[in-house]
Chains A and B, each alone.
Chain A
Amino acid sequence: MAKIIVDDVEVEVPGEYTLLQACEAAGVEVPRFCFHERLSIAGNCRMCLVEVKGGPPKPTASCAMNVRDLRPGPNGEPPVISTRSPMVKKAREGVMEFLLINHPLDCPICDQGGECDLQDQAMAYGVDSSRFAENKRAVENKYIGPLVRTSMNRCIHCTRCVRFVTEVAGVPDLGAIGRGEDMEITTYLEKAMRSELQGNVIDLCPVGALTSKPYMFKARPWELLKTETVDVMDALGSAIRVDARGREVMRVLPRINEAVNEEWISDKSRFIWDGLKTQRLDRPYVRENGRLRPASWQEALGVVAARVRSTAPNRLGAIVGDLAAAEESFALKSLLSRLGSINIDGRQDGTALDPILGRATYLFNTTIAGIHEADAILLVGTNPRREAAVLNARIRERWRLGNLKVGLIGEPADLTYTHEYLGAGSDTLAAIADGTHSFADVLKQAERPLVIIGQGALSRRDGLAVLSLAARAAVAVGAVKDDWNGFSVLHTAASRVGSLDLGLVPGEGGLNAAEQAAGGVDTLFLLGADEIKVADGPFVVYIGTHGDQGAHRADVILPGAAYTEKSGLYVNTEGRVQIANRAVFPPGEAREDWAIIRALSELVGHKLPFDNIAQLRQSLFVSHPHLARIDTVEPADHTAIERLAALGGATDKTGFETPVVDFYLTNPIARASAIMAECSALALGVSRQAAE
């Protein structure tokens, strides 16, 4: 710790702090463009100049000098930083004037206007007119993909984008070519960027050089209604902010949540919003003579109620999809149990996870932030880059710190960090569990080994045996201890952990999702379940948002609300309960899903005991108290993993396949999005090129 005086305030900060951090610790704001907390230090914008006593006798870039580099005074006085001295003001005004020399005066037509660092800081340090009479630099705009629009005249060469894609995303496509004034940010031969996190460069760009292409000229930040909520595109539950104007979602931005997504979100989370407007189910439909026709709510619910009443309880089933909030899942389960049916399943992908085995067997027990403490990682049947891109960035961040070994069992993949490819399937996993594989020693020698099991290993016929084998491997290498639980299941669906917490699995003798879909029931509720093919036969009631696979097969469609249109609880892959808030109202006659189920329950004569969402949550919390603890992770009892390890079972030899074949098209909202379709086509083109 070192003492330092910042503008007359004495603070004590660690010696490795930069002057900029020390200033922040003293409560002084320092302007900056190139510096970013999560990127390496470049020190090239010079906006953060301060005056120091005990350092060089010139304005010093505070982002690039450590506190310990300053000398104390002759009598041991602490070094002094001034951020408001005339010298500092003049220096920063000089820097600003240089930056503005080549920056166009196009704020009125710039998408960054209103949320632009340069604009804000020019208010503080800019001069009112330019002394520069020469021509401004002109730079051609570059194509760097369908998501990020470039306006390169505005670039101030901070290189945040280059550092982000190189360091965090790990797909170094962006670079700065040329030198000096002629430096230009581009990709190699203007090919599209290939990272799943590329949208974050839009947030990082301190000026309007990189802006969102789909959001281009759509809205101004001050006219948007901002709603803080969580993302459902993957099972991480990244913190997002949904910006809406009227009834329309205009864009999605990340929020900072150090425990989950830091401040990044994947492109799917960010650019999904056009899918919220297309292919929407905005009124009920009833199938008549093989064709769906619009109907009133009364009629549609009447048809469903009549059908439900005439179905025997054991021929009644429900499958809960990937985007359902806990509330509607709970409502549907309550309705089915009142009707006497035990055929309910929240695992449409057929994963072998089951709450009966204990909560620790289906959670990412290590927690996402816990990845930082791991020193050896075994990935089983998962490609985290596609299944949870932000989590993959976390692993990469840990890998960059050094001293991390990663092994992969499953499909070979480019994970953006070096890893050892161990094998394709359960044979390799068994070898590790038995300690005969060399990587088992790596895990054993690690202090905090982490085993991540993906749905690719579990959504198979032998899923339970593989799960048990993975648990055995985790226990054998010492990943499950009292102070460290390195057995982690990576989910791909936002609703899955919530469903498992609520016990959305068939009861004794009940039918699971696959059996129901194959025709094991006569009347089948699909609560946003679009990833499962329902055979001819059952009468399908689809409660959902988009005209996707489920709606095409449906006999009655009851339009529901998407994740931005309802308040709901989601439990992420680590078991963190988070609440999503409503940003806009559902379109047309669509209603919140729990309300649809509640209305139906009255018609079938088993009225559910809640009239509003508060009452629903009340009864939900009574039966599942841990869901009431929002934003916390309830640690699960790790002895369940040891019991699971003892289960055993025969595994099959085929290799694990990642469940996310196309990152951009994993759910009905994404499939309705034109932007995602474009990204998907581009990504497939890239991989086809790579295969040749």
Chain B
Amino acid sequence: MAVRRLAPKEIQPEDFVFTPENAAWAERIIAKYPEGRQASAVISLLWKAQEQGDGWVSEPAIRAVANLLGMPYIRVLEVATFYTMFNLQPVGRYFIQFCGTTPCRLRGAQAIQDVLEQRVGHQGHVTDDGLFSWLEVECLGACCNAPMVQINDDYYEDLTPDNFNKLLDDLASGRAVKPGPQDGRVSSEPQDAVNTLLDPALYDGSVVGAWRKRFEEEDARVKAEAEAKAAAEKAAADPTPARPETTRGGEQKAETPADRVANGKDAAKPEEKKAASPATAPGAEARASEDKTKG
């Protein structure tokens, strides 16, 4: 990104006054903000000034906006120079913002850039007839239709040197052009044969929650295997038939927190903890029950 400066004095207009419609619009925008916060409208107003000023913000326009909002001139200049979408130099009638970010590059943006350089000239240069100028910008978010450019307010996508040249010819001769994909696509649907998302099961509802079911089945299988393995090991180590742990009177002993700590466990039992922290418990319970119902 280069240093952005105001246009030279010679090409600055003498004066800038909002048209009555724009002034009324500005008044409505300013009224949106609370008293004392009118400066918040600065970007909207600069944008309107750019629209009215043939696509670029002139020095008188900056002053006009500042006066309207009661801001020091330097504050508005700061905003205008910060945001790259404010053009500080004159632009062509058709201002082409050319996307040069990775997806477009991969899809052949270089060829489009070559066309621009050849037909329009270097970046920022306005053609002699005042029709075109272009600027490389970062991703415009239409990667599925790469490569693409934005001309004034519209996107022109799926460009090739041929259809882009034709597009520029049409614009230059004033013929109507169609925004959007230039290769016959309607939007970002598959370009030719459809070869993804073909499984009918995707559309009959059977896949809803399928992933959860799969995890649960897997968990159950692992658990069952582990139990079977443990039982087999126990049977091998201790051939006597399993019997329940017997307890005799007097031998039974309640587990005290001190014992628990001595055995390396937490002083409070898990169930006690649960009771002591009701703030977290209901949520956890709710989640647990939800899981159950879903399962």
- Which residues from chain A contact B78 at a C-beta distance below 8 Å? 175-177
- Which residues from chain B contact A186 at a C-beta distance below 8 Å? 74
**B interface: dominant SS:** helix
Interface size class of B (residues with CB under 8 A): 10 to 19
From residue 170 to 224 of chain A, which have CB atoms closer than 8 A to chain B?
A: 172-180, 182, 184, 186-189
- Count the A residues whose beta carbon is within 8 Å of the partner chain — how many? 15
Verify A178–B82 contact, CB threshold 8 A. Answer: yes
Cα of A189 to Cα of B82 in the assembled complex, Å: 16
- Which residues from chain B contact A177 at a C-beta distance below 8 Å? 4, 74, 77-78, 81-82
- Which residues from chain A contact B73 at a C-beta distance below 8 Å? 188-189
Verify B74–A173 contact, CB threshold 8 A. Answer: yes
- Which residues from chain A contact B6 at a C-beta distance below 8 Å? 189
- Which residues from chain B contact A179 at a C-beta distance below 8 Å? 1, 81-82
- Which residues from chain A contact B119 at a C-beta distance below 8 Å? none
- Which residues from chain B contact A176 at a C-beta distance below 8 Å? 78
Q: Would you give the 0/1 interface string for B1-20, flagging 1 where the beta carbon is closer than 8 Å to chain A?
A: 11110100000000000000
**Residue among B2, B3, B6 with max Cβ neighbours from chain A (10 Å):** B3
Verify A182–B1 contact, CB threshold 8 A. Answer: yes
- Which residues from chain B contact A188 at a C-beta distance below 8 Å? 72-74, 77
Q: Quick one: closest B residue to A177, CB to CB?
A: B81
**Residue among B2, B75, B78 with max Cβ neighbours from chain A (10 Å):** B78
Cα of A178 to Cα of B59 in the assembled complex, Å: 15
- Which residues from chain B contact A187 at a C-beta distance below 8 Å? 74
Verify A178–B4 contact, CB threshold 8 A. Answer: yes
From residue 570 to 609 of chain A, which have CB atoms closer than 8 A to chain B?
A: none
Verify B72–A172 contact, CB threshold 8 A. Answer: yes
Q: Would you give the 0/1 interface string for A141-183, flagging 1 where the beta carbon is closer than 8 Å to chain B?
A: 0000000000000000000000000000000111111111010
Q: Which of A172, A178, A180, A182 contacts B74 (CB 8 A)?
A: A172
Using known A-B contacts A175-B77, A175-B78, A177-B78, determine if residue A182 contacts B72 with beta carbons closer than 8 Å. Answer: no
Cα of A595 to Cα of B60 in the assembled complex, Å: 62
* Shortest beta-carbon distance from A642 to chain B in Å: 40
Q: Quick one: closest A residue to B3, CB to CB?
A: A182
* Shortest beta-carbon distance from B266 to chain A in Å: 15
Verify A182–B77 contact, CB threshold 8 A. Answer: no
Cα of A179 to Cα of B81 in the assembled complex, Å: 8
From residue 145 to 191 of chain B, which have CB atoms closer than 8 A to chain A?
A: none
Using known A-B contacts A177-B81, A178-B81, A189-B59, determine if residue A184 contacts B3 with beta carbons closer than 8 Å. Answer: yes
Cα of A179 to Cα of B59 in the assembled complex, Å: 19
From residue 69 to 90 of chain B, which have CB atoms closer than 8 A to chain A?
A: 72-75, 77-78, 81-82
Verify A180–B1 contact, CB threshold 8 A. Answer: yes
Cα of A603 to Cα of B6 in the assembled complex, Å: 72
Verify A175–B2 contact, CB threshold 8 A. Answer: no
Cα of A177 to Cα of B78 in the assembled complex, Å: 4
Verify A172–B75 contact, CB threshold 8 A. Answer: yes
Cα of A409 to Cα of B59 in the assembled complex, Å: 37
Cα of A173 to Cα of B77 in the assembled complex, Å: 11
- Which residues from chain A contact B82 at a C-beta distance below 8 Å? 177-179
- Which residues from chain B contact A174 at a C-beta distance below 8 Å? 74
Cα of A446 to Cα of B3 in the assembled complex, Å: 51
Q: Quick one: closest B residue to A176, CB to CB?
A: B78
Cα of A173 to Cα of B72 in the assembled complex, Å: 7
Cα of A172 to Cα of B3 in the assembled complex, Å: 23
Q: Quick one: closest B residue to A179, CB to CB?
A: B82
Cα of A86 to Cα of B2 in the assembled complex, Å: 37
- Which residues from chain A contact B59 at a C-beta distance below 8 Å? 189
Cα of A178 to Cα of B72 in the assembled complex, Å: 17
Cα of A189 to Cα of B5 in the assembled complex, Å: 10
Q: Quick one: closest B residue to A172, CB to CB?
A: B72
- Which residues from chain A contact B75 at a C-beta distance below 8 Å? 172, 175
Chain A residues with a Cβ under 8 A of chain B:
172-180, 182, 184, 186-189
Task: List 19 A-B pairs, Cβ < 8 Å.
Answer: A172-B72, A172-B75, A173-B72, A173-B74, A175-B72, A175-B74, A175-B77, A175-B78, A176-B78, A177-B74, A177-B77, A177-B81, A178-B3, A178-B81, A179-B1, A182-B4, A188-B73, A188-B77, A189-B59
List 8 other contacts, CB 8 Å, given A177-B82, A178-B81.
Answer: A172-B72, A173-B72, A174-B74, A175-B74, A177-B78, A178-B3, A179-B1, A184-B3
Q: Which 4 A-B pairs have the closest CB atoms?
A: A175-B74, A177-B81, A188-B73, A172-B72
